[in-house]
Amino acid sequence: METASCFHGDADFCPECGSVLPLPGLEDKVTCQRCAFAIDVHEFEVHVIKSSVVFNSLESSSAAIETEEEVEKGPVIDRKCSRCGHEGMVYHTRQMRSADEGQTVFYTCTHCRYQEKEDS
């Protein structure tokens, strides 16, 4: 049963009840699953769908590569580097897993810049 609506709106939504319309399939009509409003599938031929992905530049990213001065910033603890044996490492923490699990601690040797991580 084809019906005509007196409302006009976005083609992705039913003009009668506002529900999201299903994607067109092999049938000649797209039917709203909530109110049974039907529209001819050829009505969707004029609609153009565009999408784009914008990537942030590496310089503006918070994950940019750290400089040598930035590595030495932060609290220094009494921890022996497993690579060079130097006493004293800088640490920082990050939440790498779900919120109900512990943080991951990253240690950086102030002497050789070797990095270790420890999951809590």
21, 12 contact by CB (below 8 A): yes
DSSP string covering 63-113, please? TPPPPHHHHT-S-EEEEE-TTT--EEEEEEEE--S-TTSPPEEEEEETTT-
Rounded CA separation 23/30 (Å): 7
6 annotated to bind ligand:
no
109 annotated to bind ligand:
yes
Residue listed under structure tokens 């920082």: 92
32 annotated to bind ligand:
yes
Q: How far is CA 101 from the centre of its chain?
A: 20
- Binding-site members are 14, 17, 32, 35, 81, 84, 109, 112
- Binding-site members for Zn(2+) are 14, 17, 32, 35, 81, 84, 109, 112
